Amino acid sequence: MSQTSSHTRLNYLAGIISIIANALLFALKYWAGLVSGSVALLADAWHTLSDSLSSVAVLIGVKMSSRKADKKHPFGHGRIENLVAILIGVMLAIVAYEFITQAIDKLKNPESKAIFGTLAIVVTSVSIIVKEGMAQFSFYIARKTGNISVKADGWHHRSDALSSIVVLAGIFLQDYFWWIDAVLGICVSVILMVAVYKIIREAVDKLMGERVPDEIIVQVKTVIQETIGGDLQVHHFHIHNYGTHSELTFHINLPPDMTILEGHGIADRIEKQLRERMNIETTIHIEPKKQTE
């Protein structure tokens, strides 16, 4: 199995597990909310259901980004992942906005007070553990595959865990501090907004173009040294990320008396080694060494 297909399967797995778990948690929270009469828990249940929408978006993004290159998209469809990440970031921003508006309403209306029971405490605690576990799993898959939409979905899971923490804190502390639920809600909103900024910034950076990481430059030079030997004076690195693969371009300097056929052979060997060892497609521009060198 190729690395690309393996990453696609992992991304699918993250999305499917997320949808199933969110559906089960929604049913559990909603039932507990009805039994206990907790409006906060019912609202938290609908928040959990909204997470499923972001997971569906991830699956759609994975499916579309894994499509092969065609005439209209010669570099594939991998950048759809970045668009999905931006979409999930916007969804998270909406969740954060709802949190902060609800928190402000509670500060303005201190007489409104939720009524919770033992069932609500148990269900909320389970939700926190499960959702943070799902967040960690999504972050793990994102590190393995480099899919930022899965990473964004992980933050959506964490946002649900944070909202459940707010509910749980309100259960235990509202008798002592009437404002605690509202203040924690504002804190959660700030945390989410920071996450939204990071998610969208990373996605936009990938769409606009990034500098080549130093570690990749070092790896490329090492592969060239081991493949060809000698000093080819490698420079002018540029990278273009397309989700499932990357396109790297750079220049090498060769002796001016070398034939085109010889230069092409060297570039071809380097490109092949980089493809096999680093899973990067490369385009190499050949320049003649200066006579003084």
Q: What would the pLDDT profile of 229-245 be if each residue is shown by its tens digit?
A: 767 788 889 887 765 56
Distance between CA 11 and CA 66 in Å, rounded? 11
pLDDT confidence band for 251 (50 / 70 / 90): very high
The domains located in the chain, with CATH, are: 3-208 (1.20.1510.10), 214-288 (3.30.70.1350)
Cα–Cα–Cα angle for 159, 207, 73, rounded to 5 degrees: 120
pLDDT, residue 69, reads: 62
What is the DSSP annotation of 167-212? HHHHHHHTTT-TTHHHHHHHHHHHHHHHHHHHHHHHHHHHHH-BPP
Q: Tell me the CA distances in angstroms from 216 to 80, 239, 248, one per residue in order.
A: 24, 10, 10
DSSP tally for the chain: helices H, then strands E: 8, 3
pLDDT band at 186 (very low <50, low <70, confident <90, very high): confident
Q: Compute the average pLDDT of residues 249-264.
A: 89
| Kind and range of the H or E run holding 280 | strand 280-288
267-285: average pLDDT: 87
pLDDT of residue 54: 65
pLDDT above 70: residue 224: yes
| pLDDT 10s digits, 20-42 | 888 888 888 888 777 766 556 66
Q: If pLDDT is split at 50, 70 and 90, which confidence band does 293 have?
A: very low
pLDDT tens figures, 74-129: 555 566 767 777 877 787 788 778 778 877 887 787 655 556 667 778 888 988 99
pLDDT at 1 over 50: no
Q: 200 vs 85, which has greater pLDDT?
A: 200
Residue 129 token pair? 């553990």
Whether 132 has a pLDDT exceeding 50, the answer reads yes
DSSP string, 20-74: HHHHHHHHHHHHHHHHHT-HHHHHHHHHHHHHHHHHHHHHHHHHHHTSPP-SS-T
Residue 200: what pLDDT? 82
* pLDDT for position 129: 92
Tell me the per-residue pLDDT of 143-166, one tens digit each, with 9 for 90 and over.
Answer: 887 777 778 778 878 877 887 887
Q: What percent of the chain has pLDDT over 90?
A: 4
Mean pLDDT on 212-220: 84
Report if pTM > 0.85: no
Nearest Cα residue to 243 out of 274, 188, 202: 202
Q: Which tens digit of pLDDT belongs to each residue from 50-70?
A: 667 667 766 776 666 566 666
Instruction: Look up tokens 């002592």; give the residue.
Output: 176
When pLDDT is averaged across residues 210-234 and rounded to a whole number, the result is 82
Mean pLDDT across the chain, nearest whole number? 77
Per-residue pLDDT for 179 more than 50?
yes
**The two structure tokens encoding residue 195:** 């996450």
Q: What CA–CA distance (Å, rounded) separates 140 from 132?
A: 12
Classified as helix, coil or strand, 116 is coil
Mean pLDDT calculated for residue range 168-185: 74
Distance CA 63, CA 9 (A): 10
Token readout for 169 is: 């804190």
Task: Report the alpha-carbon distance of residue 89 to residue 115 in Å, rounded.
Answer: 32
